[in-house]
Amino acid sequence: MFTATPPRVHPYTVVRVMANSAGSHLAMRHQLRAAQLAVSNACASSAQAIGEALWLLRCGRADLALVGGSEAMLNTGSLLGWQAMGVMAPLDSDAPEQSCRPFDDARKGLVLGEGAAALVIETEDHARARGATPLAVLAGYGHSVDAVHLSRPDADGQVRAMTAALRDAGLAPADIGYINAHGTATEVGDAVEAESISRVFGAGAVPVSATKALHGHLIGAGGALELVATVQALRRGALPASAHVRSSALAGQVDLVTGTSRATQARTAMSNSFAFGGSNVALIATLP
């Protein structure tokens, strides 16, 4: 008989994969000693971290915060797990780079991505004291939980998050000039989000696009990266297109930006992050 030798596990495996690992590395590198909070809330993680940091600044617990998220999903275990759920897009044999098609009639699922994004947010007084010029104002944060299903999205929960963000920012739906949708390219997910957006803003009332078609689904890091994309869209006066859309019945519910970028004079936008587990986060940014 032969005894199989168990595979050698790296001694740092646990501390590499723990949720607060990235934050701990940043704290050590930059000697950030005040406090650290790691938000682990699936696909809404980094968006919720940004919102919670906003509340810390508002209540006087901090003057400045480094916020963001990172995720490394391109490994065998993660790929097999997501594939087993039946939510990953099959390879488009004619155009592999177009396999992820949010809001398209023929969408078949998400494509995993990998990456990170970080932002520095601070109080207005702190920014003025150091002579900083802000890129944008983080104006609103809304969050909710569906309490319905672990993986099936719920329009009611998403509506609650978006309306909470508007209320937090003191804005009306008509004030929002663009929405960066969660838009994962799953059949149910995109349809539910189109419904929830139309319920809050009215059918076709606000331009919408999903950038995951280009950078993939970064899971916990997605909210931070998509907020960066949202801010840059406002600053550059160009709304990114929802790539790879060939036809979309959902365009009857939302004003879907397709083809090429769309020029805009909008000064306020919303970024949505809706997670497995029913966690929903909406962030609102405005130009200063």
Active-site choice (43, 100, 215, 244): 43
CA distances from 105 to 100, 109, 249, 276, 283 (A): 12, 12, 6, 23, 27
Per annotation, catalytic residue among 100, 143, 215, 217 = 217
Q: Collapsing DSSP states into helix, strand and coil, what is residue 162?
A: helix
149 is catalytic: no
* Cα atoms found within 13 Å of the Cα of residue 64, Cβ hemisphere only: 13
The amino acid that residue 206 corresponds to is V
Strands 238-239 and 64-72: unpaired
Question: Is 182 noted as a catalytic residue in this protein?
Answer: yes
Rounded-to-integer distance, Cα 141 and Cα 230, Å: 15
Q: How many CA atoms lie within 13 A of 172 on its CB side?
A: 3
DSSP alpha helices (H): ranges in the chain?
13-17, 21-30, 45-58, 76-84, 124-129, 155-169, 187-201, 212-215, 222-236
Catalytic site residue from 143, 182, 215, 244: 182
To the query of whether residue 217 is one of the catalytic residues in this protein, the response is yes
What are the structure tokens assigned to 270, written together? 């919303």
CA distances from 144 to 41, 157, 162, 198, 226 (A): 12, 6, 9, 18, 19
Q: What is the spatial distance between Cα 13 and Cα 5, in angstroms, rounded to a whole number?
A: 19
Cite the active site residues.
Answer: 43, 182, 217
